[in-house]
Structures are given as C-alpha cells and as structure tokens.
Chain A
Amino acid sequence: MADSVKLYGTVLSAYVSRAKMALNLKGIKYENIEEDLSNKSTDLLKYNPVHKKVPVLVHNGKPISESLVIVEYIDDAWKGVPILPQDPYQRAVARFLAKFIDEKCVPAIKAVGTNGDDHQAIAEACAQLQVLENELKVKGTKFFGGDNIGLVDIAADFIAYWHGIREEAAGVTFFTKDKFPKLTKWADDFVNCQAVKNTLPPREQMLGFYMKFFGKVNGM
C-alpha cells in the first residue's frame, strides 16, 4: 500500500519550507496543501488543535506538528539520505545548534527593525550570527551537515534566504560578506541545493510581504 503524505503549510513560511526540504532530501512524494491562515481549514484545526499552526505533516492519517519535530520524524521514518548524524554526540550537537537558531539567533535577527541606528539590536544579532560563522570556520565544511545539508542547515533556512529579503525591505543591512564570509557563502550554496530550491517562496512575493509588514507600502 502506498504511503499517504500530506503537508499543510503556506508558501511564505520558512518553517513550512523546512518540512519540504526534509521530504525532498528523502525523495518523498507528498500532497502540498496551501492554507489560508486568515481562514484555516477544518483539516488543519483537526490535525493541530493545540496550536492551529503550520506546518503539519500527516503521514497515513497521523498528524505531526512543530517544524523541527517534523524534520526529525521524516529522518526517523524514512531511510535514504540522513538528515541527522548517526553518532549520538554529533546528534546532540546538531540538535543544540538547531535550538540555538530558533531560540536565540533568529529572534535576535528579527528584533532588528527599520531603525539603522539601533546599534544594540544590530550588535546582538551579529553576535548570534557569529556563533554560526565560527561553527562553519571550525568545521571547515561546505554545510553544517558536512558535504551535504542536514538538520542545522535546514533549521537555519530563515537566515539563508528570508533574512536577506527582510533586510532589503527594512532598509537595514548587517548580514554582509565582509562580516560573515563563511556564513554568506553557506547561504548561497544552501539556496542553490536541489532539495532546497523549489521549497523557497518567490523573492518578489516574499519582498512584498515584508514591505507590507514594515509599513512601507504606499498608496494601498
């Protein structure tokens, strides 16, 4: 019997894209269900009654929520390209960096708004990005996962793609080649990966979203 795999999500969400990247890495065919978050489907409310958020993966009728839980589940449930390392200590390191990205790094980046003079917020964001820059320096590999992308690369997807667009909309730039040579190179390589490319929202659409978010859209 063929597996039934459905992913409830929205095209703009970096969290949803994480699930798509993991599914692509394993070569899993899935049905992509685009949700309208202002008018959530009864299915979404049924499958994620606690948070009512995307992404939700439904595998043979069983729902799984929380993007990083979904990514680990995909690695657990399907053979093929490994997303987490095999070694328990390396797995702990990968999970730690993913947690760091979600709890400290991305919040610090998002705390920088349209005020280019908010030096404290910018310094804090740079300090957190530096942790990832150092990690790549020490590892000496193309990706956090080594030669191929893994859990940490997927967890850092916002930094690789969404953040650059957000900087453009906000008019405040700090994620630069000279400050972060390794991390900016990683970002370019990451977005060009086969498993990643088609999971990313169109740049114009994402930019439009951020412009609206920062109240920079005139005459609308």
Chain B
Amino acid sequence: MSEMGEIKLLGAAASPFVNRVQFVLNLKSIKYEFMEEDFDNKSELLLTSNPVFKRVPVLIHSNKPPVCESLIIIDYLEETHPDVHKLLPSDPADRAVIRFWAYYIDNEFFPLYGRLRKTPDKEGKEALKKQIIERSQVLEKTFVKFSNGKPYFGGDDVGYLDVVLGCFLGWTKFVGNYNNFKILDEVRQWRNLKLF
C-alpha cells in the first residue's frame, strides 16, 4: 500500500462503475478518500486525469499518475494487493473465461439498460426488454456453472464477476418481475454484505 501513497477515488455515488471499484477497495481493506463528481459540471481534476474518456471512476494516487476505467482499476488493485481477498483464480484459462464474461457484462448486457431508458417507442422498448431477458438467461446459466451450488460466481466468497455484475443488480429489479432468476438471489447477499 505504501507504494501507492494516498489513494483518492474520483467518482459518483450513483455510478455502478464507481461502486464496483468501491467494493474492491473495501474487500481489500484499502483506505481511500472518495471525491464526488458532478456529471453536469465535471471538475478540472477529472478532465485532466481522464482526458480521453472524461468519466469516472478514476483512481488517483499521491505518487503516480491516475488509473482510469473500472475494470482496469480493479485489475490494478488485484495485482498490487494480491494477498487480501483475491478476486481472480490462479489458472490462466479460468482467468481468461472470467475476463470474457466481464467483457460480456460491460458490452453486451448493461448497455441495454441505457438504451432501454433512451428508447421512446413502445415497440423498441419491448424488443430491448426481450434482449435483456435473453442475456440475463445467459448470465443465469453462467452463474449456475461458476457458482456450482455456492452463493457466488467466486464460489464461497465474492469474486471478480460478483463485483463486476453486482454493481448493476439494483437496475435489474424489473427483470425480476418477469422471471425468477437465481442470479437475483445475489441481491439479498449484497444487501447483507453492505459493501457500500
């Protein structure tokens, strides 16, 4: 921890991408200062720390340049703090499959919710809802395979995919109205864990 110096997390309490980094910082018992960003009035610090994407989260150390993008920050925390609450397995193939699913969650699953919110017409909305349910079913199958009867993707304990998907669970409430997914049992686990 001393190599990283003082840590600040630039974020927004409402952002699931920020939340997932907070989960990891808490799981790894890393102290940090949270700095709330206003999306309508982005700070100079945010714009200079992440000029390419201009978005949160951004991890700022006192003695190194910033690290941006939630999954990249999580990988960085995992590699700098491997001994406290390991999130990834040691086998390279297992790691690669987990990374594939993290990519799926971020690129194929969660963006549908944003599109759903922005779609004005009923037909469009119905089509997106159908897609969300289909992809939730894919994730459900994945969860069953990874968890092997245990409570988390990571098995007995919270792992990488639990953190990556867990931050979005609040958004999936409406899906629960359509189907009874095991994956949503996790919502109860998260509330119990009080990770943020």
Contacts and interface: CB of A to CB of B under 8 A. Distances in A.
Interface of A: 50, 59, 62, 64-66, 69-70, 72-73, 76-77, 88-89, 91-92, 95-96, 99-100, 104, 131
Contacts of B52: 100, 104, 131
Given A66-B100, A92-B67, A73 B92 contact: yes
B76 A73 contact: no
Interface string B66-103: 01110011011001100000000000110111011001
Given A62-B93, A69-B99, A104-B52, A89 B64 contact: yes
A96 B96 CA distance: 18
The 4 closest A-B pairs by CB, nearest first: A76-B92, A73-B96, A88-B79, A77-B92
Nearest to A62: B93
B35 interface: no
B39 interface: no
Nearest to A65: B100
Contacts, number: 57
B34 interface: no
B72 A99 contact: yes
Interface residues of B, number: 23
B80 A76 contact: no
B103 A92 contact: no
Contacts of A104: 52-53
Contacts of B97: 64
Given A69-B99, A69-B103, A76-B92, A95 B72 contact: yes
A70 B103 CA distance: 12
B100 A91 contact: no
B99 A66 contact: yes
Interface in B39-80: 52-53, 64-65, 67-69, 72-73, 75-76, 79-80
A104 B68 CA distance: 15
Given A77-B93, A99-B69, A100-B52, A92 B99 contact: no
Contacts of B80: 88
Contacts of A92: 67, 72-73, 75-76
Contact of B103 (A66, A76, A91): A66
A73 B95 contact: yes
B169 interface: no
B76 A72 contact: no
11 contacts: A62-B93, A64-B93, A64-B96, A64-B100, A66-B103, A69-B99, A72-B99, A92-B72, A95-B75, A96-B69, A99-B69
Give the one of B79, B80, B97, B100 with max A CB within 10 A.
B100
